[in-house]
Structure 1
Amino acid sequence: MKGRTSLMKIGLTVMVLSLFVLTRPSIGPTHAATPIQEQTYPHKDSSAQIQSTGQKSKGKVKEKASGGQLEPIVVTASRMETPISQVTKSVSVVSASDRDERQQYFLPDLFSTEPGVILRRLGGPGQWSNISLRGAGSQHTQFQYNGFPLRDAADTQSTLQYFIEDLYSGSNLRQVEILKGTQSTLYGSQAMGGVINILPETWKHGTGAEFRSEVGERNTFLENGRFYHGQDLLYFDFNPMYIKTDGLKNGGDHDFWYNNFGFTAGGGLKLTPNVTAEFSSVFYDADLALSRNTPSLDKNGNLVKNTADPKKHRKSLLGQYGLKMNHVVSSLWDYSLKGAYTETQRHYFWSDIPGHQSNYDGSTGYLETQHNVHLTDRFTLLFGADYESASYDGREPRNPIAQDYTAVPTKEAWYSWDLFSQASLELLDDALLLNIGGRFNNPQAFDSKVVGEASAAYFIKNTETKFRAQVGTGYRTPSLYEIYGGFLFRGTMITIGNPDLKPEESLGYEFGVEQTWLGGMVHTGLTWFHTDFDDLITYDGINNKYMNATKAKTEGFETYMDIGPWEWIKLSFSYTYVDPMYQTKEGDWKRRTYTPRNKVGGVVTLILPQNLTVSLRGIWVSERIVPLYDPNFKTVNWKEPSYTTVDAALTYTFFKKHQLFLKVENLFDEDYTESGYGMPGRWVYGGFKAVF
């Protein structure tokens, strides 16, 4: 009942705004109520433009009827700059303008309203967060920064799950692209569920600086800066950031505090008219309080919330440093050379006793070359190779119970190299687009494997209808920890890794349709998807080992509607239904824990007179199954109630580029939990942004 009441709040808010839209008269030439005459794809990113990469773009770029603005461009779907109208896969884009309108610099929260994206946060700012794409596990989502894979080689499943809470936006953000479905052909291991690519702005001309300061309750500060200079032959861009908060208490005596210093940086040189060299970097250095206890149930079945421990905390570091060279040899051939080094550190301090800590450090080296051969205007062949090395350095105290804090090291490393290719064809006067690709995986510790995919899009131009379909196989090798991992118990190493593990495999397919209505004022889409996973790696608590124990599957559909009748209003709504299941040893299929079956998201943005912008963002999440311990340490599948949250932002722009803003998260002060962890109530922020 509580969830329905909360859902009514957001529903009433949307109804009032919709009534306002339908009855509002024209507001003058600055915000003229002129319908857009051509397909504009408001759901994607109406502000993203082609940026100079030194590579030839794929496809023909359309313009809007008003202002001659280019349609959105994406790079993740096909590994080439492609107009979004010619993408054959399911991709969503969130832009820097979306971030600024909502005043939301925490990136996972920014794109959590997108269809198929499920965000799970275990508390306030800085606490552990997780992203699931269409119900797939975090180990099946590959994160990237500027096209370079972001991984934690010391993580139990080589994911980024312990750093997602640190992903705050640098001022130079261009857009975030969320590519959903099985993507192992183009992106290798850990892309069986999709790819999330954070793309910075590059080659920004001129000299300038920005400073943004945000202050909120609970001694919260978010500071962003930017210093840049760019011209035709070179550019550099440095974007520092600092986040600090006292966090929540959850009824305890101590705060869940969090500090994070970071930056994004980039630079480039145009070595010749056809050769560019670029550098990009992302860096976070964080420290956060840890819980004294995990959520549990009391004898009456009531939730016992987690509280902060005054002595336990975790220091973490994520840094990536990448180089890329692009060379356009001719109109027929261009290629790129890329390399990156990524380092991660997670140091857990269990008390204030020197040496009573566990360290998990990882490093990843990545090299790649990609060649694009444009055989004709309608036939492009892409092929390349990549090499990746990973190392894990873990250190545990030998026997804290006996006050022996001697660090015991564990070190492992391996490498892999892959070959990949894709052929792209445009047929039937560009009405039919085909992409067919394959990848040869050759990991050091496992047998080689070939995966492939095919995707297509067909356009009915008279009705502005687009049909999409994709089928692909996936492949994920076990992590270093899943093979070699373990822990110390009273001085004895307990090995939970399993050298006999087999790589996970998957088969995924989807079918979608997109439709433009009323001359571009309304854009809708619907996609059905299904993925089967084989040899899924899970932790077997009985045998205390990682095992290829189960099969799993996820199935559902996602839909969206974007309404942009006039320049002064944008409405975007999405709905996701997903039913992830796994097979038990007895052969029964059970619902996966923690994942909701239903999610509704929506954003309403109004650009009002007097340089005011209002943004309302709402999310409704249905009930989840959460395993918790009762007082007898027996696992109980607790049914966590649904919840609705609404965030609001008001921005005043003065002197054309400076801003004052007010933001309220959880506007209606919803009392809710996520996986049993207490979540923040109403939280008020305010601040300013100066641009020079």
Structure 2
Amino acid sequence: MSTNRPPARHRSRRLLRAGVALPLITLSPLATTNLAAAEETGTDEPTQLAPLSVSAARSPVPVETVGSAVTVITAEQIEALQIRQVDDVLRLVPGLAVSRTGSVGGTSQIRIRGSEANQTLVRIDGIEVSDPSGDSDFDFGHLLAYEIERIEVLRGPQSALYGSDAVGGVIDITTKRGSGPLSGSVRTEAGSFDTREAVGTVSYGDQTFDALVSAQSFRTDGISSADERAGNPEKDGYRNRSAFAKFGWRPAEDVEFALVGRTVRYRADTDAYSTIPEDDPDDLTTGTQTFLRGEARYAMADGRWRHKIGLATTEHDRNYRDGDLITSTYLGRRVKADYQTDYGFETGAVSHDLSFGLDHERESARTWSSWAPGSVVKHDYESTGFAGEYRLGLYDQLFLSAAGRYDRNGLFDDQHSWRATAAWLIPGTDTRLRASYGTGIKNPTLFELYGYTNTYRGNPNLKPEEATGWDAGVEHSFLDGSLVVDLGWFRQDIKNLIQGNGPSSENLPGTSRINGVEASMTIRPLAWMDLRLAYTYTDGKDSHGEELVRRAPHIASADLMTRFLDDRARAGVAVIYNGEQKDWAYDASYARHPVTLDDYTLVNLTAAYDLTETVEIFGRIDNLFDEEYQEVLGYGSRGRAGYAGLRMRF
């Protein structure tokens, strides 16, 4: 953190006054420029502005003023490492654990700081994308990393900002938007397991209108989801066709309208849970995901008073099949309307920002199963939330915030949640201290309450999970920002933790406790080299003192990126370590007992070269040392694989 930067308060004000479109503009965490700010200072060159966080507060704020732990991954990092699945990107973030069943297209869950997967709120372009008809988590198995501008991960209880689901934290994904003259790009690649991918994008943007339209096709023959080492030779293929479009219109300086939509169609060959050798059934899942949001923004009082109103829909429609026979169908929908107003002002060297918002959502789930063919089962519920936040900046050094939320819904008692944060930029140093404390609420899912399968029945008597959590950290930069070290400590207590017990779900009595340490380091030893390191220690126990499953106590990652030949050539390496972890094994009567999965280390290599200004070739090797491992008991993983491709811009 350099001491010669403009004060954080003034940087924030410039950004907010630059235009009502700010929260929709994707911003690089390394450097952001703003021509309006340059006009204010009377210079010809754009002013370099601090990176912003779009999830850590009710409105965008400079990252260095945030008291919670937040990590931002940029499009440049994703592309340099040639990561094609978003869950693989998230393996680089401190505090996150990934569990995938088998190969590409297998169910993929993300746990933040030891919380359950459905205690993580996931947003894509401001749309909550969890599935109301499932476990109310988001399956990352079908989200491919194309045309993503940035991924922001906010850790710790955030229900005061976002309501239910944000117990462990928030994953906020922003896609690219159109900019500059009409242009386009095409990327194709192919490789191991008969994998083929093609992506095409068209983009345009000026001061009044911007548009980006993109489509992607991905297919692979894959591997057997059931571990091949157990005698399961049948390959389980995967097909994914996705498209999204993003539009923005600014008819006046202080007005903006935006529309974004995404659709995903997939077909995944799968294997049911089994540790029995040569038990490789012909299971298949097909589905469609549709996400849509429209938004209008208006600013007044020289940009100090801002208003935002939005409407979003989410739909998950999936079928489970045994060959050509449909065995069950699930349809989950969410419709959410929201309004927010923000006002900021200054009194001398003190800045004040207030935000107030309300939202109303309706979730519904419709299921049908051949195990109970008599009728289609439908369930839904509605909820309304009221939230407010006050942020205080003192002398460009100390930044405080307090947020609270009140929720009403048709199934449970009214709920209250709150959060407080502090960040201190110690004068005369390159040190930042941060701390936060908050509460979280996670309502039982419709599936946990009323769902059913051939072996499971919901429990309508479940209570909401309740959490309290704190974290504290210190960040210091050395050598004029060439080395940045961040250390953090966290603790989270969860009451009424919901766990599946085989035939149903139950609230565990008592309190489940999770403690841990997060550490990260960013190093630029040379102008053409960047190195990032991350490590997390998590000690998670349920109320019975048993280790929580699928949360390895030790997780670490490292990635190195280099540029040479006048930046025309690039090469990188990423190393992922996942320590031993517990998982559940089920016997024929669906009774469970814990087992230990071995640790593993993955090494991936990448390289790219610009043949011309518009043509690039690239290649990568995943799992260089052909590591054999399981992230979920009974499910296999991909061995060594190579891929190569071509990108053209026009």
Common fold: TM-score over 0.5 = yes
Picking from 259, 268, 275, the partner of 1:288 is 268
Contact map agreement 1:256 1:308 (CA 8 A) in 2: no
Picking from 381, 391, 404, the partner of 2:354 is 381
Distance 1:526 1:348, change over 3 A: same
Distance 1:55 1:352, change over 3 A: closer
Picking from 614, 636, 639, the partner of 2:571 is 614
Q: Mapping of 1:295-444 within 5 angstroms?
A: 295=275, 304=277, 308-310=280-282, 312-331=283-302, 332-353=304-325, 356-376=326-346, 378-398=351-371, 406=373, 408-427=375-394, 429-444=395-410
Which ranges of 4 or more aligned residues in structure 1 deviate by more than 3 Å? 35-40, 49-53, 55-58, 61-71, 544-550, 629-636
Q: Mapping of 1:450-465 within 5 angstroms?
A: 450-465=416-431
Q: Mapping of 1:36-47 within 5 angstroms?
A: none
CA distance in 1, matches of 2:279, 2:223: 9
Contact map agreement 1:583 1:590 (CA 8 A) in 2: yes
Equivalent position SS for 2:408? strand
Distance 1:545 1:579, change over 3 A: closer
Equivalent position SS for 1:499? coil
Q: Tell me the equivalent position of 2:552.
A: 596
Distance 1:398 1:581, change over 3 A: closer
Picking from 188, 197, 218, the partner of 1:243 is 218
Contact map agreement 2:161 2:387 (CA 8 A) in 1: yes
State the 1:106 CA deviation.
Answer: 1.0
Picking from 526, 529, 537, the partner of 2:487 is 526
Distance 1:541 1:170, change over 3 A: closer
Q: Deviations over 1:224-248 (max 9, x none)?
A: 1101122211111111011100001
| Matched letter for residue 267 of structure 1 | F
Contact map agreement 2:190 2:644 (CA 8 A) in 1: yes
State the 1:407 CA deviation.
Answer: 6.0
Q: Tell me the equivalent position of 2:543.
A: 583
Once the two structures are overlaid, the 10-residue window that deviates more, 196-205 or 260-269, is 196-205
Equivalent position SS for 2:193? coil
State the 1:154 CA deviation.
Answer: 0.3
CA distance in 2, matches of 1:295, 1:134: 28
State the 1:290 CA deviation.
Answer: 1.4
**Aligned residues between the structures:** 616
Distance 1:382 1:37, change over 3 A: closer
State the 1:631 CA deviation.
Answer: 8.2
| Matched letter for residue 431 of structure 2 | T
Q: Tell me the equivalent position of 1:19.
A: none
State the 1:389 CA deviation.
Answer: 0.3
CA distance in 2, matches of 1:545, 1:580: 20
Whether 2:513 is the aligned partner of 1:553: answer yes
Equivalent position SS for 2:49? coil
Q: Tell me the equivalent position of 1:628.
A: 585
Equivalent position SS for 1:590? coil
CA distance in 2, matches of 1:445, 1:280: 31
Distance 1:314 1:273, change over 3 A: same
Contact map agreement 1:38 1:520 (CA 8 A) in 2: no
Distance 1:370 1:527, change over 3 A: same
Equivalent position SS for 2:526? coil
CA distance in 2, matches of 1:278, 1:269: 6
CA distance in 2, matches of 1:518, 1:547: 51
Picking from 153, 156, 166, the partner of 2:142 is 166
Equivalent position SS for 2:223? coil
Q: Deviations over 1:451-474 (max 9, x none)?
A: 111000011131210000000011
State the 1:375 CA deviation.
Answer: 3.0
Contact map agreement 1:145 1:282 (CA 8 A) in 2: no
Q: Mapping of 1:246-265 within 5 angstroms?
A: 246-249=221-224, 250=228, 251-265=231-245
| Matched letter for residue 418 of structure 1 | G
Question: What fraction of aligned residue pairs are identical, expressed as a percent?
Answer: 25
State the 1:120 CA deviation.
Answer: 1.4
| Matched letter for residue 517 of structure 1 | F
Equivalent position SS for 1:680? coil
Q: Please provide the CA RMSD for this pair.
A: 2.6
Q: Deviations over 1:562-616 (max 9, x none)?
A: 00133310000010000111013xxxx1111221000110000010126110110
Equivalent position SS for 1:185? helix
Q: Tell me the equivalent position of 2:643.
A: 685
State the 1:365 CA deviation.
Answer: 0.1
Once the two structures are overlaid, the 10-residue window that deviates more, 525-534 or 629-638, is 629-638
Whether 2:74 is the aligned partner of 1:95: answer yes
Q: Tell me the equivalent position of 1:571.
A: 531
Equivalent position SS for 1:110? helix
Contact map agreement 1:115 1:559 (CA 8 A) in 2: yes
Q: Tell me the equivalent position of 1:227.
A: 202
Distance 1:525 1:497, change over 3 A: same
State the 1:352 CA deviation.
Answer: 2.6
Q: Mapping of 1:68-107 within 5 angstroms?
A: 69-107=48-86
State the 1:551 CA deviation.
Answer: 2.8
Once the two structures are overlaid, the 10-residue window that deviates more, 562-571 or 246-255, is 246-255
Equivalent position SS for 2:144? coil
Give the unaligned 5+ runs of structure 2: 7-14, 34-44
| Matched letter for residue 561 of structure 1 | M
Contact map agreement 1:55 1:335 (CA 8 A) in 2: no
CA distance in 2, matches of 1:464, 1:200: 32
Distance 1:247 1:52, change over 3 A: farther
